[in-house]
Structure 1
Amino acid sequence: MGSAELLGREVTKLDDAVLLDKEDRAGPLRAALSSQIAGPLAALVLAVVIFSATTDSFLNPGNLSLIAQQSVVVGTLALGQTLVILTAGIDLSNGAIMVLASVVIGNLATDGNVLGALLAGLAVCLVLGLLNGVLVAQFSLPPFIVTLGVLSVLTAAARLYTDSQSYPITSEFLTALNGGPAFGGVTITYGVMLWIGLTAILGYALTQTAWGVRVYAVGDNPRAAALTGIKVKRVLLSVYLTAAVVYAFAAWQALGRTPTADPSGYSTANLDSITAVVIGGTSLFGGRGGVVGTLIGALIVTVLANGLTQAGIDSLYQQVGTGILVVIAVAVDHFVRTRQTR
């Protein structure tokens, strides 16, 4: 096969993908029901029905509010993780970035300059996101190796920065996201509102903007994307920087959830965020998925843990259940992709 013919096939493939994306925009409800959202949503509804029937307090307003609050930090981290995974990458360092930003905020806030502390935390996230983005995009290093190395460095850096001590958070502004209005006994915290708002913003950016089309194109086939004029390196860099901003919001939410900046906190947040993304239907191979599915995936994980705890089932079985869901989600994605390539 000649190079000209290969080029033509790659360009045609990308054009077809863009056309399908436009058709999905024309019928968002139909696209949602036929895409990766339907499966996770059905699983969430099924879990709610089962735990409602087998426990006495699952549907209590206070418990529903607790489920939403427990999902916030990992759910927000998972939004940034979704962007990276859509480009066929992975970010093992997102939890460590969030923790380092939170302890920087906690330390600087002791001087009373809360706004300055928050901006410093945002700057930390942006610098680290830029580092990941440059190493992956400009130097073409594997995202798994890059972010694994950054994870190791940041885990040690957070403890060195704090001398392994935690900072109590006394500022009402830093813990404000844990408050919020109550409706019918269900408290909707500002952190939950922020999580939903970020999901809506990123969902719009991915489905209704040229940037979103480029993100999906790069994740689906970076070579074909480059052949059609898409600046692949620029797109990758923008994804890691955008994800870093999301991680900064997660750090603020973490300070509200537990008013202590702890360098050893959220040690499994990176894996938890990946779990939420995968269960939410986003493909680890890139180019398929979205943030709405990720929000549902984060709720599924929390509902599973909450419901099994109320049912008196050992926490080890919670991990077994979550692991099974992840394997099923990856297997389904592999099956779908295999059929599409035939």
Structure 2
Amino acid sequence: MATTANGTRASFGEYVLRTPAVGPTIALVVAVVVFSLSTSTFLELDNLSLVVEQSLVVGTMALGQTLIILTAGIDLANAANTVLATLLMAKLVVGGAPAWLALLVGIAAATLIGALTGVLVTNIKLPPFIVTLGLLTILTAVSRIYTGESVPVSDPLLSWLGTRRYLFGGIEVTYGMTVALVMFLVVWYALTKTGWGKHVYAVGNEPEAARLSGINVQRTVIGVYIIAGLIYGIAAWQALGRVPNADPNAYQTANLDSITAVVIGGTSLFGGRGSVLGTLVGALIVTVLRSGLTQAGIDDLYQNVATGILVIAAVALDRFTRGRQR
């Protein structure tokens, strides 16, 4: 039994339904146990480190996506935004610009695109799906116009987040992992411990009620898109650390992968419910599933089927939970 917010006792099942991150965490533990028993290499330290590293860039994109989905929005252009930022960073350095300037320009560009998205959604009242679908097409085309081929990155600052260190003599980590963990902690704190976070959840739950209670809905939503854009810019830096090569064709499905991580992590597509902890777990679930099935010899197509089933199940569970809470 668990105690609910109003002091009543609830069954474990009810507690899981009301706490978005609990279910995904249980699913992650079950997946790790299953793959540990069915394969001989899954629990090796090198493999576990690789799993975390593989989830890094998409997981960071999913962090920004979480903020947007909490306001009942969606961002289909986050991966295209990230890719364009990597190209800006790489091309500027190749052209002779200082690496620090190239890095700032790439992150600033991603942030400005986030701000533009927020303005189009709030000021012109366009649906987030349509705005970001249009931006996905535009940014993908701009990236390929800007450079039709990949740009190798050799500058140590741009690839710095890929630097490897070893904890306790055997656990391999990168600076990118550390930066991602810090970002998740900062956003978790902002959402759970500040007035801004309460405003984000309130806007996602019922924007008109939030407006009547004195919350500036427009400013809150624009702020969310700006912060998400900043996060995508840092994801671009992480991408160059992981693979020191800026490619206009990279991360073509990362926008959908980030949405998958958010949804599997228990954040409601209808806004107002979810957590960044759940998103972190969701990103790990997707990577663990792919890694474990690959080591078990399962074809990629069946892996996609399994991921799709998880997404549908997560959304169905969210609808069921919302129905129970009404």
Q: TM-score, normalised by structure 1?
A: 0.89
- Name 2:222's counterpart in structure 1: 237
* Cα distance in 1 between the residues matched to 2:100 and 2:325: 50
Question: CA–CA distance in 2 between the matches of 1:22 and 1:92?
Answer: 38
Report the number of matched residues.
Answer: 314
- Tell me how far apart the structure 2 counterparts of residues 186 and 313 of structure 1 sit (CA, whole Å): 27
Partner of 1:247: 232
**Alignment equivalent of 2:194, drawn from 209, 222, 226:** 209
**How far 1:290 sits from its partner (Å)?**
1.1
Instruction: Identify unmatched segments of 5+ residues in structure 2.
Output: 8-14
In 1, distance between residues paired with 2:187 and 2:123?
24
Contact 2:16 2:23 in 1 (8 A): no
* 1:175-213 deviation line (CA, Å, top 9, x unaligned): 111123212422111111111110000000000000000
* 1:321 paired residue number: 306
2:275 paired residue number: 290
Equivalent in the alignment of 1:191? 176
2:110 to 101, 125, 129: 125
- For 1:6-45, what aligned pairs fall within 5 Å after superposition? 35-45=19-29
- Structure with bigger helix share is 1
Tell me by how many angstroms 1:319 deviates.
0.4
**Aligned amino acid, residue 48 of structure 2:** L
How many Å separate the matches in 1 of 2:221 and 2:145?
31
Segment of structure 1 superposing worse, 249-258 or 179-188:
179-188
Alpha carbons of structure 1 residues 280 and 147: separation in structure 2 relative to 1, 3 Å:
same
In structure 2, the partner of 1:16 is: none
Code of the residue aligned with 2:27 in structure 1: it is A
Q: Which amino acid aligns with 1:205?
A: A
Percent identity (aligned):
56
Structure 1 SS opposite 2:110: helix
Gaps of 5+ in 1: 1-19, 24-30
**How far apart are 1:338 and its partner, in Å?**
1.3
Asked if the contact 2:89–2:106 (Cα under 8 Å) also holds between the matched residues in 1, the reply is: yes
2:17 touches 2:321 (CA, 8 Å); kept in 1? no
Per-residue CA deviation, residues 235-273 of structure 1 (Å, 9 max, x unaligned), is 000000000110011000000111100011001110000
Alignment CA distance shift 1:118-1:339 (3 Å): same
Normalised by the length of structure 2, the TM-score is 0.94
How well do the aligned residues superpose, as a CA RMSD in angstroms?
A: 1.6
2:91 aligned with 1:107, yes or no? yes
How many angstroms apart in 2 are the aligned matches of 1:293 and 1:260?
A: 30
Mapped partners of 2:138, 2:131: distance in 1? 11
**Are residue 54 (structure 1) and residue 38 (structure 2) matched?**
yes
* Cα shift at 1:32: 8.9
